[in-house]
Chains A and B, each alone.
Chain A
């Protein structure tokens, strides 16, 4: 009984820590290592850096990083092309249909190096950590089920349900076939 309680406590602590931890200043070697993705030859898919795995993928499940990603999404005018995820001159992000892959490594490469037909490269504008934060956030836009770590609505006019009220995409038509 006592051991089970301790186990539950330990799991809760791990989960709690993982979701709520705030690393305000990343260790410089870790930050440098986070850049070492190994994409496949066509730039879609590939292996994440070892340190990303070792950290436990904190950019997909950590509330603070997701919140920072959402802030960067506004600050770096991702809205200018992708709107609130519905798409404008750039493709939609909330329909769960990605031209250059939906996995973190593909998204990281998309953000860092840019993609043909308009997606600019952000490697000189964002730190590696910030790119990963954006990767995590962008994934929640297209998420099919709600997560308690996702950010909630912004204090502005609303065009779609908040990320933590996913799936926002349920209201949209099915993605176009290629």
Chain B
């Protein structure tokens, strides 16, 4: 540090020195404690993504176990008790530990790069978020390994999950796991909103924001408005079970239906928390494969915002069979069907983009096509179950299972897999195999449809959800066997995907900065990006910056090199407003997450854990926020 002027700016030295000095300022220290302390959004995002995919793998194995059990009538693979745990784990794991976190993980990695900044807002909160998420996932899976896995369904309906009918700690594990993932998700949501509003590159006005970033912005607002409902719900449930409160006890003035309202006020927006990022991925990937900007930017943004708003007005369609007033049922039927309008607008915008483009059939594009077919089918059955008479008929049958797997896998996992193939070279620096990729896309698309389409028929034939077996004289045997065999094909596709992802990390062909010739900012830096993302902050002059400035991107300069510094811009026009420091690495988020985890897990066993556990949490937070006298602490 000696010999360097205190306030070193990037305008004073040549490019090599800028990069060397930035690398030193932004680098993550080597070794175990360096890895724990890092606040680099790329490292944390990578961890987040890998962890989420591990949970996908585990959840997929559970799905296969269920198909093994259901392949034949009176199956003997799993007992009823284990089956209850397995389907609950599958649902809870896929929704809370895979689908929501993986979308946020992609955003943690990509959003700062796409808006052209050097780190996510509140990077230490970001580190905290990952550790909390990891602890929640470990809690659930360790409990499952100890035969303590929740067995109440991923929705945890009372009174079945309540104190009277769910003995032991299984339901508490589920409820507390929710608390973990909610904290993690809320933290990321706050970071993304601030990053998108205040850290965009100069010139990236609202109508030049990449559509994935728009999608994550809307999603983050949904997270912030929806997650508190489930936190209230799961906390009330724990209090009922542990302390003996009466939130859900009708005899003492509580309300059983209150749980369903709280849960689905979160649970329905949750579907869009998963789906909107996927639509953003589609919109951001499409231009690279049809060689033109996406059609109807404004319409796409507005339909995403519309979906975000409407998503809070249709939770009751999960409760049509609970005997609610007719007027309520009619209202929520109408609002549920209304959401098909903005979803349809998006589909037509993408079709128009394809129509006018010159498609390049690479693996990510294949997944986009798979998405169109599958998601539209799932959307159609969605409109069907939005109508009360049909919903009453198929409620709690495999028809619903088929419907939501079509929208969740077709609507979110297909785009996600495409996104992994698309952004993998940026994250790893190497390409995934195109040959294997085609196999993966084909196996997963065909396997998925063969495995899940017959479930529609099974549902219409009356096969209920969540049953661990069925009798031989019921007409469901052959179709179930077909479904189970097809699920092996789907599993083979995923296995190939994991093999490809792991193998390409070592031996894939080097990617270069912009292998797809894409127009957005994340491709303006090296693959993988350096710790500081951009040596000089890019200046955006249009909606497709890398296509409009083929030779050289205009950049902003004047930032300090001797401390972590980012550019703050105005919300609407992205006019530079200030240079702001960005926090350096710290161990305190890890300690805070650890102490919080001890508190939350302890509270399953004794309410006193909340009292005594808050002391270490307070110490960790004081350590976290104590001024350290680093250059980053200067105003």
A contact residues, range: 20 to 34
Among A29-37, A62-70, A89-97, the stretch in contact with B: A62-70
Residues 246 to 269 of chain B near chain A (Cβ within 8 Å): 246, 248-252
A67 to B249, CA, bound (A): 18
Q: Does residue B512 face the partner (Cβ distance < 8 Å to A)?
A: no
User: Which single member of B79, B143, B251, B605 contacts A155 (CB below 8 Å)?
Assistant: B251
As a 0/1 sequence over residues 125 to 167 of chain A, the CB contacts with chain B under 8 angstroms (1 = contact) are 0000000000000000000000011011111111001101100
Q: Give A111 Cβ to nearest chain B Cβ, in Å.
A: 20
Contact A151 B159 (CB under 8 A): no
Instruction: Give Cα distance in the complex from A165 to B250, angstroms.
Output: 21
Interface residues on B, range: 20 to 34
Q: Which residues of B contact A19 (CB under 8 A)?
A: 168-169
- Say whether chain B's binding surface is mostly helix, strand, loop, or mixed: loop
- B554 contacts partner chain A, Cβ-Cβ < 8 Å: no
> Which residue of chain A lies nearest to B145 when distances are taken between CB atoms in the complex?
A13
> Is A12 an interface residue, CB under 8 A from the partner?
yes
Q: Are A16 and B147 in contact (CB under 8 A)?
A: yes
With beta carbons under 8 angstroms apart, the residue of B167, B251, B606 that contacts A64 is B167
Task: Please report the C-alpha to C-alpha distance between residue A19 and residue B148 in the assembled complex, in whole angstroms.
Answer: 9
Indicate which residue in A63, A68, A152, A156 contacts B242 across the interface (CB closer than 8 Å): A152
A156 lies within 8 A of B251 (CB): yes
Which residues B138-156 have CB closer than 8 A to chain A?
143, 145-148
- Chain A hits for B167, CB < 8 A: 63-64, 66-68, 151
Interface presence of B545 (CB below 8 A): no
Q: Give the docked Cα–Cα distance between A151 and B246 (Å).
A: 15
CB-CB under 8 A from B243, the residues of chain A are 165
Chain B residues with CB under 8 Å of A17's CB are 146-147
On whether the beta carbons of A155 and B147 are closer than 8 Å, the reply is no
B241 within 8 A of A: yes
Closest Cβ of chain B: how far from A156's Cβ, in Å?
5
Interface status of B584 (Cβ within 8 A of chain A): no
User: Does B478 count as interface, using CB distance less than 8 angstroms?
Assistant: no
- Which residues of B lie under 8 Å from residue A151 when comparing CB positions? 163-164, 167
Which one, A20-28, A50-58, A99-107, A170-178, is touching chain B?
A: A20-28
Q: Does any Cβ of A come within 8 Å of B170's Cβ?
A: yes
A152 is contacted by which of B147, B148, B163, B252 (Cβ under 8 Å)? B163
Are A155 and B164 within 8 A (Cβ)?
A: yes
Contact A20 B244 (CB under 8 A): no
Q: Nearest chain B CB to A64's CB is how many angstroms away?
A: 5
Report the nearest B residue to A13, measured CB to CB. B146
**Whole-angstrom distance between the Cβ of B154 and the nearest chain A Cβ:** 19
What separation, in Å, do the CA atoms of A102 and B211 have in the docked complex?
70
Q: Mark B60-85, 1 if CB is under 8 A from A, else 0.
A: 00000000000000000001110000
For residue A158, which residues in chain B have a CB less than 8 angstroms away from its CB? 244, 246, 252
CB within 8 Å of A: which of B148-193?
Answer: 148, 159, 162-164, 167-170
Cα–Cα, bound, A22→B145 (Å): 14
- In the complex, the chain A residue whose C-beta lies closest to that of B142 is A12
Nearest-neighbour CB distance to chain B for A118, whole angstroms, equals: 28
Tell me the nearest residue of chain B to A157, going by C-beta. B251
Measured CB to CB, the residues of A under 8 A from B are: 12-13, 16-17, 19-22, 24, 63-64, 66-68, 148-149, 151-158, 161-162, 164-165
Sample of 16 more A-B contacts, CB < 8 Å, known A154-B164, A158-B246? A16-B147, A16-B148, A17-B146, A20-B146, A20-B147, A20-B169, A22-B81, A64-B168, A66-B167, A67-B168, A152-B240, A153-B246, A155-B249, A156-B249, A164-B242, A165-B244
Q: 28 A-B Cβ contacts within 8 A?
A: A12-B146, A13-B146, A16-B143, A16-B146, A17-B146, A17-B147, A19-B169, A20-B147, A20-B168, A21-B147, A22-B81, A22-B147, A24-B81, A67-B168, A68-B167, A148-B169, A151-B163, A152-B241, A152-B244, A153-B164, A153-B246, A155-B159, A155-B162, A155-B164, A158-B246, A158-B252, A161-B244, A165-B244
